[in-house]
Amino acid sequence: MATVLETMMIPAETAAAIDALVADGVAPSREAVVANLVAREIEDAAKRKALDEAIAEGMASGFVAMTIDELRAHLLARHAQPD
């Protein structure tokens, strides 16, 4: 993988937290901590986008007049395991 030398200013508390993660063995280096956090943020953003899209799709599909007890019974019946 290609690398880029980047200089960034961060608060001392953030630098200390990164160093603590390295000291605790969470990652082998400061660079690895940052790379892991960025990768996690990208993954989380994709999950948030998918959730937002699913919510929008559900909202667009309309509402069903069903009580929570009726919904629970329906889902239990729908996903019942055969004997």
- The end-to-end CA distance of the chain, in Å, is 52
The pTM score is 0.66
The per-residue pLDDT for range 10-27, each reduced to its tens digit, is: 999 999 999 999 999 999
Max CA separation in the chain (angstroms): 63
Residue 8 Ramachandran class (φ > 0 left, ψ -120 to 50 alpha, else beta):
beta
74 has a pLDDT exceeding 80: yes
39 has a pLDDT exceeding 90: yes
Map out the domains of the chain as residue ranges: 12-78
Predicted local distance difference test score (pLDDT) of residue 65: 86
